[in-house]
Amino acid sequence: MQGERSAGDEQWSSRTGFVLAAVGAAVGLGNVWRFSAVAGTNGGGAYVLPYLVAAFVLAAPLLVLEFAVGRAYRTDVVGAFRAVRPWLAPAGWAAVGAVFVLLSYYLVLTGWVLAFALAALLGREFTFVAFTAGWAPVGYFLAAAAVVAVVVSLGVRDGIERLSKLAIPIVFLVLVGLGAFAFTLPGAREGLTFLFAPRTDALADPGVWVAALGQVFFSLSVGQGVMLTYGAYLPDEVDLRRSAVVITVADVAVALVAGVAIFPVVFSFGLEPSAGTALAFETLPTAFAAMPGGRFVAVAFFSLLFLAAVTSAVSLLEVGVSTATGNTRLSRRAATAALSVGMVVLGLPSALSYSAVDLRLGGVPVLDALDGSVGTFALPFTALLTVLAFVWLTEPAIVRERLGGGSIVPLLRYAVPIVLGATTTYRLVTAGRGGFGRVPDAIHPDAGVASLLVLGIVCLALVGWYWTREQQSSRAARRGRTERD
């Protein structure tokens, strides 16, 4: 295909650079904010064990698979699906479409974090209600989109890898510092007990397991094409299994340390641990304002949250840019510019849903509706497509060779697709719980249907574009043969 990447086009400079970039893709709002929100709404300690099982037994093997497929084909998401079976290319486009929708509202959230970080730095009083009552969310959304676009336009080594090498160590250091500070608070014991005390009775609740699985897949960026794309830039000598374990451990560690930093604050100030989305933007700022040195803590918290959000957003945009450069004649910078414009257009409704406009879809803010559909249904579905294409529809000998054999193969062949299918079915039956971090709040069924319809239209548009392009290529090839004859 025209423009398709070869192995030598772009590569990570080292295994360390790759691991930090992959950790950056995984560590984001999902770890620091969403993990605490979901853990809080699912009973803390009752949720941690299912979360760990989902991370190491189900998500880590998927990481290895995506890295292996990316490195084997040295191409973008669509190219990898096409390499297995030409008719699977639309599945690749659907995956890219889902990631693009996710990125459009993820940048809105990143803009919120930037706004709170700047407000804390400047010492301004800042409330979420006042912030979303005007037009500021749109401006910060555009600022976040610009930052991400600049990083991706610089390339794999000079942009993504360099950012990750700088940002990820800072995120870890600041988070550990906040965790240590949390131990000095009067509610530290209660917060840690809430987070880590086991509750075996909750293990029988399928909702807890579904929430844990959804959090892990969202956080580790599996099934989104991100790790497949990053795998295409991998040198041949990198140990995939070892790298996947390191990345999973780092991702889980960030989530747990974030919980250690957040829940002592929650219990010290008598706050509600099940506050969901409000935890980061309404509950914690109130606590920061009341504690000694709270301004410094607020600056540190929202700054690390912004760095984590940007590294994740960069990885999502890279999926689209890789696909565009691999299937068109666009350069990296041209593809980044074009996709950034599309990203802004697609993200504006989400930005406007938390602004003076209060734009809604099916009775709920557009952002919540999209997250409820993409995060709940689309991403697990694309993960299932990934397993079916690269495990079930690929020769078993090739699968074993890529993955190195062992228990990982039957896990991916049987356990992962069964769990993904069961999880998606459970969520459909329970009407799909949604909203970023709002697991217990039911979204109106009309919102789920409407948002799924929007996602379907985007995916169908991508499939139609692909089909039209293939038809044009076929006609051009036939004309060429006719002229030669």
pLDDT given at position 324: 94
Q: For 186-212, what is the mean pLDDT?
A: 84
Residue ranges per structural domain of the chain: 15-478
CATH of domain 15-478: 1.20.1740.10
> What is the value of pTM for the model shown?
0.88
| Helical residues (DSSP H) of 58-88, grouped into ranges | 60-73, 77-84
Convert the pLDDT of each residue in 423-457 to its tens digit. 877 777 775 444 443 433 334 444 454 445 455 54
Residue 451's Cβ-count burial label (10 Å; 0-12, 13-18, 19+) is buried
Convert the pLDDT of each residue in 117-172 to its tens digit. 999 999 888 888 899 999 999 999 999 999 999 999 999 999 999 999 999 999 99
Does 468 or 327 have the greater pLDDT score?
327
Among candidates 77, 72, 141, which has minimal Cα distance to 110?
Answer: 141
Convert the pLDDT of each residue in 56-75 to its tens digit. 999 999 999 999 999 999 99
Percent of the chain as helix, strand, coil, to the nearest 5: 80, 0, 20
- Rounded to an integer, what distance in angstroms lies between the CA atom of residue 352 and that of residue 369? 13
pLDDT given at position 467: 58
- Rounded to an integer, what distance in angstroms lies between the CA atom of residue 93 and that of residue 91? 5
pLDDT given at position 482: 65
| Helical residues (DSSP H) of 269-331, grouped into ranges | 278, 284-290, 294-327
> Residue type at 304?
L
Convert the pLDDT of each residue in 240-292 to its tens digit. 999 999 999 999 999 999 999 998 988 888 877 765 566 778 778 888 888 88
